[in-house]
Amino acid sequence: MSENLGKKILSLVGGQDNITNITHCATRLRMRLANSEIAHKNKAKIESLDGVISVVEKAGQFQVVIGPAVPQIYDQLIENTDLTSSENEHTAKEENTNWFLKLMDVIGGIFTPLLPLFAGSGVFRGLVLLATQLNWLSTSSSTYHILTVASTAVFYFLPIMLAVTAAEKFKCDKFVAAAIMGALIMPEFMKLMGSTGNGTVVHFFGIPLVLMTYTSTVVPAILATWCLSYLEKWLRSWIPTNLQLLFVPLISLFVMVPLTAGVFGPFGVYVGEGISNVINWLMNLNGWVAGAMIGGVWNIFVIFGLQWAVNPVMINNISSLGYDYIVPLTCAANFGMAGATLGTFVRTKDKKMKAYSISALLSIFFAGITEPAIYGIGIRYKKPLVGAVAGGAVGGAIIGGMKAKAFAFVFGGLTTLPAFVGKTFIPYCVGLLACFVVGCVVTMVLGIDENNTEQAADKSDSVQPVSDESILSPISGEIEDLTQAHDPAFADGSMGDGFVIEPSSGDVYAPFDGEVTMLFNTKHAIGLTSDNGVQVMIHIGIDTVKLNGEYFESFVKQGDKIKQGQKLLHFDLNEIKKAGYDCSTVVIVMNTKDYQSVELLNAGKNDHGSATLKVQV
């Protein structure tokens, strides 16, 4: 994979200043953008990059599907920019994100960091169980007990871990959140229940509290941390800054520990138990039908990110009951996709796709990760996705009908088989084999249509250039070659050719007739497209996005038609410099590759409206 992939992605999504948040899961870079139009227009170009499987735009995120190599690409971006995975103060508003997508985003943010630990611990626990069933390990030995606590610690202390990740998502003190849930699983707290167990009533300053067992629970930690985030904000709004270090944690612990024990904790426990009971009721009612439905649609869930609504249920069942019925059905979907991938390998005549199919198949078998297959094969060719759905449904019916259980939360692959060792292990394996065979056969029978996919990567939504054009300077000041830009993201020309200007005035004028195709909320950058198809971005200053629009004024909005010489923006040059920011302004031709050359005509001191760039078709 190209070492420059991260750099290319960064350029095509609009550069560092356009990214308000970046993180990753097992297979995707997940970005929130200040202005998504740039990335949307370059979607086809991003998908055509070697190493990129697909691009998904949903839940207010721009997601680049890369596969198992995503951590390395993420590291490239973090190491070569000032980006972090935490959201900046200028995070774009999410007017178009409905409540359900926001909920999925929250759930994903809380559970994603823990998924590798769940998977590793699950396989670990399965191997321990397998060793005991084969009589390789005695349950009375100290070795067994040490391995058991090592493989199950994640579930015992799950409330503390969820408190930490939830605090990062809800933007509150993660150590206070961890301490709140830690208090509820301390031996001293557990002793209060005595022999009565769940439902024991004690009193806190005369207020009755119903005690519950919180080890291995899911919902209480999330509810408590969510409440803590609001309590913290309220406390910081009136406690003097120099006293917050002491009194915010003190008051938070004093309020939240008993409040969680008396309200959020019991409510969360009952919600978790209720969900588990409903799932078990459905499986007992008709496991064959439930299995076929879940196994068939799970890959569709993954496409739309809906699996995040179900993952907590599975984790809760494993934690509270010690087993789960849904995990095996998700594995059925995985093996259905694996079969469809093998069917694609057999039917395709494209050598590159054959190699990709093998890579995607190994990703499923050894890591339980299906996204490379789903996006690179299923969505691309459509018919393999039908095969995957058919395979998942058939195998899911067998697995659900036989009520196969998982004893750990894992991703479905060959390496995670130990997590299913038990009385239903053989039916589970039979179901997986059925998924794989049906998925493969259906895909081979339906075939794949390769005729309409070869040119897709070269398509773009951008306006195509139609003639040569001169670009006028939009600002008065000292003009230099782009290589002299103080921001290396622009200086190397990776985002396009152009020039840099040290402004002597804070007024920005239209360099041609055309349209405003992009305007950042912070007004520090504007994108224009000329009537002849030249796409220009004017980026004012370095890191001025952090001013969040202060000292900037806009006289146009996105979509407006503009005339050469029309005033577009004004920025207070003196105040921005006083705030410590470099005001050097970059003017670049975003679609440079569409032209034979972009030539700087006049360097040195220029007034706005002077011919500065020549763009030649």
Phi, psi of 485 (to 5 degrees): -60, 140
Instruction: Tell me how far CA of residue 84 lies from CA of 22, 206, 329, 342, in angstroms.
Output: 7, 47, 36, 38
Beta bridge partners, 361, equal: none
Give the H/E segment covering residue 281: helix 265-304
Helix, strand, or coil (residue 570) = strand
Rounded to an integer, what distance in angstroms lies between the CA atom of residue 105 and that of residue 493? 35
43's enclosing H/E stretch is helix 43-47
The alpha carbon dihedral of 214, 218, 219, 225 has a sign of positive
Helix (H), strand (E), coil (C) string for 130-192: HHHHCCCCCCCCHHHHHHHHHHHHHHHCHHHHHHHHHHHHHCCCHHHHHHHHHHHCCHHHHHC
> Which H or E element spans position 530?
strand 525-530
Whether the Cβ atoms of residue 363 and residue 372 lie closer than 8 Å to each other: yes
Give the residues across from 599 on adjacent strands.
Answer: 614
Tell me how far apart the alpha carbons of residues 118 and 410 are, in angstroms, rounded to a whole number: 7
Please enumerate in sequence order all residues whose Cβ is within 8 A of that of 135, keeping only pairs 6 or more positions apart, or say none. Answer: none
Question: CA separation (Å) from 468 to 589, 594, 595?
Answer: 13, 11, 9
Q: Which residues are catalytic?
A: 25, 539
